[in-house]
Amino acid sequence: MELACREDRAELSVLEGRPVRWAARLTPHGYDTITYGRSRPRAEPSLAAEGPRRLVELIPSQMAALRVFIGLADRLRVPPADGLAEQVRAASCDHGIKRWQLYLTQEQITSAAYGFWLHRMTGSAAEANRFGREYGVVYTPPSDAGNRAAGSRPCADSART
């Protein structure tokens, strides 16, 4: 945005028939900013068939961890829930409270908790702990006994009683 000079304000005053004390016009960067802002997807609640959505607000480090989880989707054996990647891409940041806002289904919230668990196992537990406190969802991996392949036998040490 650029402010009008004295001569431009004088011309505008004549056209308006009243004094124009200040005026401004958008620069090319200003127009581009407005165009870009209007084209960005927005996270909004949806009443889609997948169920009700809940507002989830994430701090920047949580959003960064969730983006890593989404980015690895095609390499993970337990991929993110359907629609989670779209919600992450469409998330908006409320700069006043410094939180990313997403509207997630319960399945997506559970999937996000899994992503935060992966982050906990390889880095910081703060993001998973905060998510658990705020949304009451903490991922806990199933016990080892439930994960054994059919036909496998327990270790000799665990078979002794």
Q: How confident is the model at residue 159 (pLDDT cuts 50, 70, 90)?
A: very low
Per-residue model confidence (pLDDT) at position 55: 95
Per-residue model confidence (pLDDT) at position 151: 47
Q: Whole-model pTM?
A: 0.64
* 3 state DSSP class of 141: coil
Tell whether the torsion through CA atoms of 154, 156, 157 and 158 is positive or negative: positive
Quote the tokens at residue 102.
């997403």
pLDDT of 32 over the 50 cut: yes
